[in-house]
């Protein structure tokens, strides 16, 4: 996800991102190259869930994932989804670095 605060200083509406306030269809923005550097963030791997027991005690089952070689993922043995997220993030960063080199 890109931090849009430098590109769209007045912000954008979360439902209608081409507007500032969600009503008027006019948005003022700056060229992304003119306000560099822009911050980018890894925010989600598409498998969000809510765990009320906290991150240390959370358990999950299933092999649904973006990175296919996460060793913890299992349909039989419960695993901590937060540790699996850290693995996926590290793997993703490694792949980005390998592509850039």
7, 38 contact by CB (below 8 A): yes
Q: Record the pTM.
A: 0.55
pLDDT of residue 15: 74
Residue that is written with structure tokens 């003119």 in the block: 34
From the number of C-beta atoms within 10 Å of its C-beta (0-12, 13-18, 19+), residue 43 rates as exposed
What is the rounded end-to-end Cα distance, in angstroms, of the chain?
22
Question: Region 11-34: what's the mean pLDDT?
Answer: 80
**Which pLDDT tens digit goes with each residue over 45-97?**
566 778 888 888 888 887 766 777 787 778 888 888 888 888 888 888 898 88
pLDDT of residue 2: 82
pLDDT of residue 44: 66
């Amino acid at each position: 996800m890109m931090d849009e605060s430098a590109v769209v200083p007045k912000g954008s509406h979360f439902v209608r991102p081409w507007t500032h306030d969600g009503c008027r269809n006019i948005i003022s923005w700056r060229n992304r190259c003119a306000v560099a550097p822009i911050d980018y963030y890894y925010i989600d791997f598409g498998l969000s869930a809510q765990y009320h027991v906290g991150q240390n005690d959370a358990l999950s089952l299933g092999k649904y994932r973006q990175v296919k070689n996460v060793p913890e993922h299992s349909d039989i043995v419960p695993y901590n989804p937060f540790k699996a997220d850290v693995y996926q993030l590290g793997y993703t960063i490694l792949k980005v670095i390998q592509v850039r080199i």
